[in-house]
Structure 1
Amino acid sequence: MTGASNASDDEPHRSTDHRRAEEILAAFDHVEMDFTGSDEAWRYGGGRDLSRLTQAAEAANDVRGSL
């Protein structure tokens, strides 16, 4: 597909999953969301602590590397 096209031109090519994702994202436009206190829910500095996940991934790579 080249050049600009409008949404009706793309309609037959979009998957059901793509259309469903658009519907879900559009729903967020109609819902009030309150993120009060969310920074505290994600640990220090508002970010998620991924250290254990990192350690598990590194351990898995070590196991695979030794096979």
Structure 2
Amino acid sequence: MTRSSVGAEGEQLEAARRKADEILAAFDSVLIDCTGSINAWRHGGGRDLSRLVEEARSH
């Protein structure tokens, strides 16, 4: 590996870290309603995401 390729890889890693920080900050900035989640996440408690899909499309 040449010195320039190590530098480029380091820049890519740093860019990925910054992007990860942005994503985590976005998740931290929203309120998540977990009401009833104990029932939804049990074995066999399927997730119907159609309402979320429609809501996302309407925005």
**Short-chain TM bin:** 0.3 to 0.5
TM-score, normalization by structure 2: 0.42
Which of the pair has more CA radius of gyration? 1
